[in-house]
């Protein structure tokens, strides 16, 4: 992507956190934005922070393939084209495998993994019609390492990484770039909004868990968005967001199994 000015970007999970920050930052660089979320009030709050470019609001549940396909069509109908899709929406469940319900596991996978698949496939035909295009899928450092009580989240983010890298290779000779975003600790509301179940692996309350996450999260959403967009301009395959993301990626490379012992104390 040579520049964001004059382009059109679609963003899921744009009602808060990194999605909101991406929408604001892109708009400040002259990029029209189509923002999507399941929360209409939060969408309105994001839209109110954007000026100087065209902005469209879309109420979308990314777990619903029909809604995502309609979202893609609506974006092009409104803006005339689309250059980027940021598949950013995500949720978390904190629970052990033995205790976790199938309902919670499926709820998370539908949003975190299938939402990315739906978004990528729905927008692909439209991205093929422009000279410069990019698919940006949000994974996580938890798509690089596995930690107790995060099996569902780990599974979804490992899956996003594999899906994204395979798609990048399939499209490497085309006009469409593909990037996998791997954020470390970013001060979003994902912990507060998570489905959290104390168990033998952690006796912390939901408030204590959220406070611990916020203490470990060093980057603001705006800082994360800046790093992500820098990577998009360079068409990076892997966009590591934050020093902790870089450290974790290095540890996993050097100690692909034994790193678990080092991390165990953090999640006890």
Each residue of 76-99: pLDDT tens digit?
999 999 999 999 999 999 999 999
The mean per-residue pLDDT over the stretch 27-55 comes to 98
Run of H or E including 106 = helix 102-109
Q: What percent of the chain has pLDDT over 90?
A: 72
Catalytic choice (102, 118, 126, 153): 153
Q: What percent of the chain has pLDDT over 70?
A: 81
Q: Which of 8, 229, 18, 12 minimizes the C-alpha distance to 133?
A: 8
Q: Are 123 and 178 in contact, with CB atoms under 8 Å apart?
A: no
The mean per-residue pLDDT over the stretch 30-43 comes to 98
pLDDT band at residue 172 under the 50/70/90 scheme: very high
Q: Which of 136, 124, 117, 111 minimizes the C-alpha distance to 61?
A: 111
Instruction: Supply angle C-alpha 203, 204, 207, rounded to 5.
Output: 155
The mean per-residue pLDDT over the stretch 179-186 comes to 87
User: What is the reported pTM?
Assistant: 0.88
Domains in the chain: ranges and CATH: 8-267 (3.40.50.720)
Q: Which of 45, 90, 30 minimizes the C-alpha distance to 57?
A: 45
Question: Residue 153 catalytic?
Answer: yes
Task: Count other Cβ atoms within 10 Å, centred on residue 102.
Answer: 7
Q: What own/partner pairs with CB < 8 Å and gap ≥ 24 does 143-146 have?
A: 143/182, 144/182, 144/248, 144/249, 144/252, 145/248, 145/251, 145/252, 145/259, 145/260, 145/263, 146/260
Q: HSE, CB side, 13 Å, CA atoms: give it for residue 258.
A: 2
At 211-245, the pLDDT tens digits run 454 555 578 999 999 999 999 999 999 999 987 77
3-state SS class at 11: strand
| Dist. CA 190–CA 97, nearest whole Å | 20
Q: If you compute the radius of gyration of the chain from its CA atoms, what whole number of angstroms results?
A: 18
3-state SS class at 192: coil
Mean pLDDT over each residue of the chain, to the nearest integer: 89
Run of H or E including 137 = strand 133-138
3-state SS class at 111: helix
**The tokens 């299938």 sit on which residue?**
114
Q: Are 44 and 241 in contact, with CB atoms under 8 Å apart?
A: no
Instruction: Supply 38's token pair.
Output: 């399941």
| Dist. CA 262–CA 251, nearest whole Å | 10
């Amino acid at each position: 992507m040579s520049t964001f000015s004059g382009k059109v970007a679609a963003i899921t999970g744009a009602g808060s956190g990194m999605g909101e920050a991406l929408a604001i930052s892109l708009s400040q660089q002259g990029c029209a934005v189509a923002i999507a979320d399941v929360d209409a009030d939060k969408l309105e709050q994001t839209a109110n922070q954007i000026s100087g470019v065209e902005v469209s609001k879309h109420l979308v549940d990314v777990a619903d393939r029909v809604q995502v396909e309609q979202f893609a069509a609506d974006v092009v109908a409104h803006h005339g084209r689309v250059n980027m899709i940021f598949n950013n929406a995500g949720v978390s469940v904190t629970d052990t495998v033995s205790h976790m319900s199938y309902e919670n596991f499926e709820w998370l996978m539908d949003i975190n993994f299938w939402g990315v698949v739906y978004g990528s496939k729905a927008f692909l035909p439209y991205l093929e019609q422009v000279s410069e295009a990019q698919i940006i899928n949000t994974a996580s450092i938890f798509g690089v390492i596995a930690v107790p009580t995060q099996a569902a989240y780990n599974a979804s983010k490992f899956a996003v990484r594999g899906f994204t890298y395979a798609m990048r290779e399939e499209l490497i000779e085309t006009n469409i770039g593909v990037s996998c975003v791997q954020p470390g600790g970013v001060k979003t509301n994902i912990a507060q909004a998570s489905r959290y179940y104390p168990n033998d692996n952690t006796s912390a309350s939901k408030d204590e868990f959220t406070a611990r996450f916020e203490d470990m999260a060093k980057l603001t959403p705006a800082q994360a968005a800046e790093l992500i967009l820098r990577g998009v301009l360079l068409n990076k395959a892997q966009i590591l967001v934050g020093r902790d993301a870089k450290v974790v990626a290095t540890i996993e490379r050097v100690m692909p199994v034994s790193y678990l012992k080092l991390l165990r104390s953090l999640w006890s």
